[in-house]
Amino acid sequence: GENVEQHPSTLSVQEGDSAVIKCTYSDSASNYFPWYKQELGKRPQLIIDIRSNVGEKKDQRIAVTLNKTAKHFSLHITETQPEDSAVYFCAASIGGNKLVFGAGTILRVKS
């Protein structure tokens, strides 16, 4: 069925290091892949997204890569800061507008 796997479930890094979160999806027709950041007690907020016609997109310290052949995409955060600590969710589009979310990654940046 429609499925998005996300790894790792928790990630702890030292401030200034990089963090990488990976997701795989099952529907080969998926063509939109957003990433959301959710701080404790708050709503998920879009931080970056990528569409299937590109392989990489970057926005300051955040980048996302997409491998359509292997059906996986990754979030890369460089020079991590304590305020990057949050839960990160990947998602993939299914059948048009529908988004299926991964289980989330708890990122902790230690200062």
Partner 1 sequence: DAGVIQSPRHEVTEMGQEVTLRCKPISGHNSLFWYRQTMMRGLELLIYFNNNVPIDDSGMPEDRFSAKMPNASFSTLKIQPSEPRDSAVYFCASSGDRRSLHFGNGTRLTVT
Q: Residue 14's CB: how many other CB atoms inside 10 A?
A: 9
Report the residue number, 43 or 83, with the smaller CB distance to partner 1: 43
| Smallest distance, partner 1 to C-beta of residue 1, A | 10
The number of residues making up the chain comes to 111
As a whole number of Å, the end-to-end CA separation of the chain is: 41
Binding mask 15-34 for partner 1 (x = CB under 8 A): -----------------x-x
Of 58, 79, 65, nearest to 13 by C-alpha is 79
Q: Where in 39-68 is the site for partner 1 (CB under 8 A)?
A: 42-46, 49
**Which residues are at the interface with partner 1 (CB under 8 A)?**
32, 34, 36, 42-46, 49, 89, 93, 95-104
